[in-house]
Amino acid sequence: MQELPGYETGKVDTVKQLLKVLYGLKQARCKWYDVLHMAITDLGFWVTGADPEVFIACIKKHMLVLAVHINNCVMTGSSPKLITVYKGKLHKRYALTDLGPVSWLLSIQVTHDHKTWAISLLQEAYIKTIITHFALADAKLYSMPMVPSASYSKSDSPALANDAVWMCKVPYCEAIGSLMYTSVATQISHLQSPHSHSS
Protein backbone atom coordinates (compact mmCIF):
# COMPACT_ATOMS: atom_id res chain seq x y z
CA MET A 1 0.00 0.00 0.00
CA GLN A 2 1.37 3.38 -0.94
CA GLU A 3 1.57 6.24 1.52
CA LEU A 4 -1.03 8.94 0.97
CA PRO A 5 0.16 12.35 -0.28
CA GLY A 6 1.04 14.54 2.68
CA TYR A 7 1.63 11.55 4.98
CA GLU A 8 4.93 10.27 3.57
CA THR A 9 7.42 9.27 6.27
CA GLY A 10 10.22 8.26 3.93
CA LYS A 11 10.72 5.06 5.94
CA VAL A 12 10.58 1.70 4.20
CA ASP A 13 9.53 -0.58 7.06
CA THR A 14 6.55 1.35 8.40
CA VAL A 15 3.18 -0.02 9.43
CA LYS A 16 -0.02 1.88 8.70
CA GLN A 17 -3.22 1.68 10.69
CA LEU A 18 -6.40 2.35 8.74
CA LEU A 19 -8.95 4.32 10.73
CA LYS A 20 -11.54 3.81 8.00
CA VAL A 21 -11.99 0.83 5.67
CA LEU A 22 -11.03 1.60 2.09
CA TYR A 23 -13.38 0.62 -0.73
CA GLY A 24 -12.08 -2.40 -2.59
CA LEU A 25 -10.24 -4.06 0.29
CA LYS A 26 -11.18 -7.64 1.19
CA GLN A 27 -12.21 -6.49 4.67
CA ALA A 28 -14.46 -3.70 3.35
CA ARG A 29 -17.46 -5.90 2.60
CA CYS A 30 -17.35 -7.55 6.05
CA LYS A 31 -16.99 -4.21 7.84
CA TRP A 32 -19.84 -2.69 5.81
CA TYR A 33 -22.07 -5.66 6.66
CA ASP A 34 -21.38 -5.20 10.39
CA VAL A 35 -22.35 -1.52 10.18
CA LEU A 36 -25.44 -2.19 8.06
CA HIS A 37 -26.50 -5.14 10.24
CA MET A 38 -26.45 -2.89 13.30
CA ALA A 39 -28.50 -0.19 11.56
CA ILE A 40 -31.09 -2.64 10.23
CA THR A 41 -31.52 -4.49 13.53
CA ASP A 42 -31.95 -1.14 15.27
CA LEU A 43 -35.01 -0.63 13.05
CA GLY A 44 -36.57 -3.86 14.36
CA PHE A 45 -35.40 -6.33 11.72
CA TRP A 46 -33.74 -9.63 12.52
CA VAL A 47 -31.50 -11.71 10.30
CA THR A 48 -32.81 -15.01 8.96
CA GLY A 49 -31.05 -18.26 9.77
CA ALA A 50 -31.06 -19.33 6.11
CA ASP A 51 -29.28 -16.28 4.69
CA PRO A 52 -27.35 -13.61 6.64
CA GLU A 53 -28.24 -11.01 3.99
CA VAL A 54 -32.01 -11.42 4.35
CA PHE A 55 -33.74 -9.52 7.17
CA ILE A 56 -37.33 -9.78 8.40
CA ALA A 57 -39.46 -7.46 10.52
CA CYS A 58 -42.95 -8.08 11.87
CA ILE A 59 -44.92 -4.90 12.55
CA LYS A 60 -48.28 -5.73 14.09
CA LYS A 61 -49.94 -7.99 11.49
CA HIS A 62 -47.61 -7.03 8.64
CA MET A 63 -44.25 -8.43 7.55
CA LEU A 64 -41.34 -6.76 5.80
CA VAL A 65 -38.49 -8.58 4.06
CA LEU A 66 -35.24 -6.81 3.23
CA ALA A 67 -32.64 -8.54 1.02
CA VAL A 68 -29.19 -6.96 0.90
CA HIS A 69 -26.23 -7.60 -1.39
CA ILE A 70 -23.42 -5.20 -0.46
CA ASN A 71 -25.05 -1.87 -1.40
CA ASN A 72 -28.02 -3.23 -3.37
CA CYS A 73 -31.23 -3.65 -1.39
CA VAL A 74 -34.69 -4.94 -2.19
CA MET A 75 -37.61 -4.58 0.20
CA THR A 76 -40.96 -6.28 -0.03
CA GLY A 77 -43.80 -6.88 2.37
CA SER A 78 -47.50 -7.09 3.00
CA SER A 79 -47.97 -3.33 3.40
CA PRO A 80 -46.87 -0.82 0.70
CA LYS A 81 -47.30 1.97 3.27
CA LEU A 82 -44.88 0.32 5.71
CA ILE A 83 -42.37 -0.26 2.90
CA THR A 84 -42.42 3.48 2.21
CA VAL A 85 -42.05 4.29 5.91
CA TYR A 86 -39.06 1.99 6.40
CA LYS A 87 -37.42 3.17 3.20
CA GLY A 88 -37.58 6.63 4.74
CA LYS A 89 -36.05 5.38 7.99
CA LEU A 90 -33.17 3.77 6.10
CA HIS A 91 -32.74 6.91 4.00
CA LYS A 92 -32.24 8.97 7.18
CA ARG A 93 -29.21 6.80 7.99
CA TYR A 94 -27.83 6.32 4.49
CA ALA A 95 -28.30 8.21 1.24
CA LEU A 96 -30.50 5.87 -0.78
CA THR A 97 -31.57 6.00 -4.40
CA ASP A 98 -35.11 4.66 -4.64
CA LEU A 99 -35.41 2.93 -8.01
CA GLY A 100 -39.07 2.03 -7.49
CA PRO A 101 -40.43 -1.46 -8.20
CA VAL A 102 -37.54 -3.84 -8.88
CA SER A 103 -36.98 -4.65 -12.55
CA TRP A 104 -33.24 -5.46 -12.54
CA LEU A 105 -31.12 -6.80 -9.68
CA LEU A 106 -27.55 -8.11 -9.89
CA SER A 107 -27.84 -8.61 -13.68
CA ILE A 108 -31.12 -10.49 -13.24
CA GLN A 109 -34.29 -9.18 -14.87
CA VAL A 110 -37.33 -9.31 -12.61
CA THR A 111 -40.83 -9.39 -14.11
CA HIS A 112 -44.17 -9.37 -12.31
CA ASP A 113 -47.48 -10.93 -13.33
CA HIS A 114 -50.02 -9.39 -10.95
CA LYS A 115 -52.88 -11.54 -12.25
CA THR A 116 -51.23 -14.83 -11.30
CA TRP A 117 -49.11 -13.46 -8.46
CA ALA A 118 -46.02 -14.73 -10.28
CA ILE A 119 -42.50 -13.31 -10.20
CA SER A 120 -40.01 -14.39 -12.86
CA LEU A 121 -36.24 -14.06 -12.70
CA LEU A 122 -34.63 -13.92 -16.15
CA GLN A 123 -30.93 -14.04 -17.00
CA GLU A 124 -31.19 -13.92 -20.80
CA ALA A 125 -29.56 -10.48 -21.12
CA TYR A 126 -26.73 -11.46 -18.75
CA ILE A 127 -26.08 -14.71 -20.62
CA LYS A 128 -25.96 -12.88 -23.96
CA THR A 129 -23.44 -10.46 -22.44
CA ILE A 130 -21.24 -13.38 -21.30
CA ILE A 131 -21.41 -15.03 -24.72
CA THR A 132 -20.36 -11.80 -26.43
CA HIS A 133 -17.67 -10.88 -23.88
CA PHE A 134 -15.98 -14.28 -23.91
CA ALA A 135 -16.47 -14.98 -27.64
CA LEU A 136 -18.54 -18.09 -26.94
CA ALA A 137 -21.12 -17.62 -29.69
CA ASP A 138 -19.73 -20.61 -31.64
CA ALA A 139 -19.13 -22.81 -28.58
CA LYS A 140 -20.58 -26.34 -28.72
CA LEU A 141 -22.97 -27.62 -26.07
CA TYR A 142 -21.46 -29.80 -23.36
CA SER A 143 -22.75 -31.03 -20.01
CA MET A 144 -19.78 -29.64 -18.06
CA PRO A 145 -17.25 -26.84 -18.60
CA MET A 146 -14.28 -29.19 -19.00
CA VAL A 147 -13.83 -32.74 -20.29
CA PRO A 148 -13.10 -34.95 -17.21
CA SER A 149 -10.45 -37.03 -19.00
CA ALA A 150 -8.62 -34.03 -20.46
CA SER A 151 -4.96 -33.58 -19.51
CA TYR A 152 -3.14 -30.45 -20.63
CA SER A 153 0.52 -29.47 -20.50
CA LYS A 154 2.72 -26.59 -21.59
CA SER A 155 3.14 -28.24 -24.97
CA ASP A 156 -0.56 -27.60 -25.63
CA SER A 157 0.02 -23.84 -25.47
CA PRO A 158 -0.59 -21.99 -28.74
CA ALA A 159 2.46 -21.92 -31.00
CA LEU A 160 1.26 -19.08 -33.18
CA ALA A 161 1.01 -15.48 -31.97
CA ASN A 162 -2.52 -15.11 -33.39
CA ASP A 163 -3.72 -18.14 -31.41
CA ALA A 164 -2.20 -16.74 -28.20
CA VAL A 165 -3.95 -13.40 -28.74
CA TRP A 166 -7.27 -15.19 -29.31
CA MET A 167 -6.87 -17.27 -26.11
CA CYS A 168 -6.25 -14.11 -24.08
CA LYS A 169 -9.73 -12.93 -25.07
CA VAL A 170 -11.25 -15.89 -23.22
CA PRO A 171 -9.81 -16.02 -19.68
CA TYR A 172 -10.92 -19.47 -18.53
CA CYS A 173 -11.36 -18.82 -14.79
CA GLU A 174 -13.32 -15.61 -15.34
CA ALA A 175 -15.52 -17.26 -17.95
CA ILE A 176 -16.29 -20.25 -15.70
CA GLY A 177 -17.05 -17.92 -12.77
CA SER A 178 -19.51 -15.96 -14.90
CA LEU A 179 -21.17 -19.16 -16.11
CA MET A 180 -21.36 -20.53 -12.55
CA TYR A 181 -23.18 -17.37 -11.46
CA THR A 182 -25.89 -18.05 -14.02
CA SER A 183 -26.33 -21.59 -12.69
CA VAL A 184 -26.62 -20.70 -9.00
CA ALA A 185 -28.31 -17.28 -9.12
CA THR A 186 -31.67 -18.60 -10.31
CA GLN A 187 -33.36 -21.97 -10.36
CA ILE A 188 -36.41 -23.22 -12.24
CA SER A 189 -39.30 -23.42 -9.82
CA HIS A 190 -43.06 -23.08 -9.77
CA LEU A 191 -44.85 -21.15 -7.06
CA GLN A 192 -48.62 -21.24 -6.85
CA SER A 193 -50.64 -18.19 -6.00
CA PRO A 194 -52.82 -18.50 -2.88
CA HIS A 195 -55.77 -17.89 -5.17
CA SER A 196 -54.88 -20.57 -7.74
CA HIS A 197 -56.36 -24.03 -7.72
CA SER A 198 -54.64 -27.30 -8.49
CA SER A 199 -56.38 -30.12 -10.26
Structure confidence at residue 145 (pLDDT): 63
Q: Which of 25-34, 54-63, 76-85 has the lowest mean pLDDT?
A: 25-34
Structure confidence at residue 62 (pLDDT): 93
Main-chain dihedrals φ then ψ at residue 16, nearest 5 degrees: -110, 140
Q: Which of 5-9, 135-139, 156-160 has the lowest mean pLDDT?
A: 5-9
Hey, is 61 helix, strand or coil? coil
pLDDT digits (tens, 9 = 90+) for 149-177: 878 788 878 888 888 887 777 687 888 88
Assess whether pLDDT exceeds 50 at residue 193.
no
Burial of 68 (0-12, 13-18, 19+ CB in 10 A): buried
Across residues 70-84, what is the average pLDDT? Answer: 88
What proportion of the chain, given as a percentage, has pLDDT over 70? Answer: 89
pLDDT digits (tens, 9 = 90+) for 124-135: 888 888 888 887
DSSP-derived secondary structure for 128-186: HHHHHHTT-TTPPP-SSSS-TT----GGGS-SSHHHHHHHHTS-HHHHHHHHHHHHHH-
pLDDT, averaged across the chain: 81
Strand partners, 112: 119
Rounded Cα gap, residues 130 and 178, in angstroms: 7
Residue 84, H or E segment: helix 80-93
Assess whether pLDDT exceeds 90 at residue 25.
no
Please, are residues 48 and 40 in contact by the beta-carbon 8 Å criterion?
no
pLDDT digits (tens, 9 = 90+) for 81-134: 999 999 999 889 888 888 888 888 888 888 888 888 888 888 888 888 888 888
Rounded Cα gap, residues 39 and 90, in angstroms: 8
First CA to last CA distance, the chain: 65
Hey, is 3 helix, strand or coil? coil
